Structure 1
């Protein structure tokens, strides 16, 4: 099974190809991605988030309605909130978007640079990385009963010792079940694993 190491390797390739940064939302379901990462200027991210621009962003609207890759300058959609102009004030002068996967589990990635448009070759290379990210981050649709029980105990508020006692196993065995569940769900923390398990109806 592909794990976080492979995801991190692919994200590193995106970082190298995006001089001003990127934002990746993989497997967007119920308006939230199962995997999210961004390397944009934190000030821009704070501004973007505080203004709820994800709901108004022409790039995301394009990504939800189209598959493929395009330059930001080629997205012919209204931008009544001036998001493109504001992004440029933070150095995001040029960019591209990649969208792939079924609409009920869509991955959308935006990459930016400050100096020039992305070339066709650069876009093709980035699109390949994004499609690979989409494939390797495909969420597992099953966990073992032992993993589900361990997550359910923690989700219910039990601490490790109490959860282990409830399940009749050692605390180290419980932790091993939680670690394996996190790896299977590609989650960095147990809380994230619980959330992902809920989203795919395993809890």
Structure 2
């Protein structure tokens, strides 16, 4: 966020705080993915999961990422195909009741993932998280 204007940074921080209030076990935003790399990444999942995920190179087979690169909108993790068990592995690390969102053109896609421990996200919460993803996509576009 160091290259963002103060007003944009403040808006991003507010949206991340709002997201954190809905996602007690964490979230991830990969914003403006270009040539397989995000321009901005925000993750609050437990460090044990992040380290495990990164060390195993799970991004290549991650069903959230695969879905988000092909589609836009909202998808519950339970509705994603997960042939090698990445989402089951995430659940073993405490990341349950997952939700994915994706927005933007394929040339600059933004993908997000959200988890909570107590229950699945309601449809209204899913829409809120999609709205937040879209707002972050738009805000960070200004910082590119």
TM-score by length of structure 2 reads: 0.91
Q: Look up the SS of the partner of 1:94 in the other structure.
A: coil
8 Å CA contact 2:72–2:101 kept in 1: the answer is: yes
Unaligned runs of 5+ in 2: none
- Listed as ranges, the gaps of 5+ residues in structure 1 are 140-183, 186-203
Q: How far apart are 1:4 and its partner, in Å?
A: 1.4
1:107 paired to 2:99: no
Aligned counterpart, 2:84: 81
- The two structures, once aligned, show a CA RMSD in angstroms of 1.3
The alpha carbon displacement at 1:129 in A equals: 0.9
Equivalences for residues 180-191 of structure 1 within 5 A:
184-185=143-144
C-alpha deviation, 1:64, in angstroms: 0.4
* Larger Rg belongs to: 1
Q: 1:120 aligns with which of 120, 123, 140?
A: 123
Residue by residue, what CA displacement relative to the aligned partner does 1:165-189 show, whole Å, maximum 9, x if unpaired? xxxxxxxxxxxxxxxxxxx54xxxx
Q: Tell me the residue number matched to 1:176.
A: none
Q: Report which of the two has the higher share of strand.
A: 2
Q: Output one character per residue of 1:60-109: Cα deviation in whole Å (capped at 9) or x when no partner.
A: 1000000001111122x2x2331111111111121101100001100000
Q: Structure 2: how far apart are the matches of 1:80 and 1:73?
A: 12
The CA distance in 2 between the partners of 1:32 and 1:11, in whole Å, is: 20
- Name the residue aligned to 1:189: none
Residue correspondence of structure 1 range 29-68 to structure 2 within 5 A: 29-68=34-73
Counterparts of 2:56 and 2:9 in 1: how far apart (Å)? Answer: 31
Point out which structure has higher relative CO (alpha carbons under 8 A, 6+ apart).
Answer: 2
Verify: 1:6 aligned to 2:11, yes or no: yes
TM-score, with structure 1 as normaliser:
0.66
Q: Which structure: greater helix fraction?
A: 1
- For the residue of structure 2 that corresponds to 1:40, the secondary structure is coil
- Displaced runs of 4+ in structure 1, greater than 2 A? none
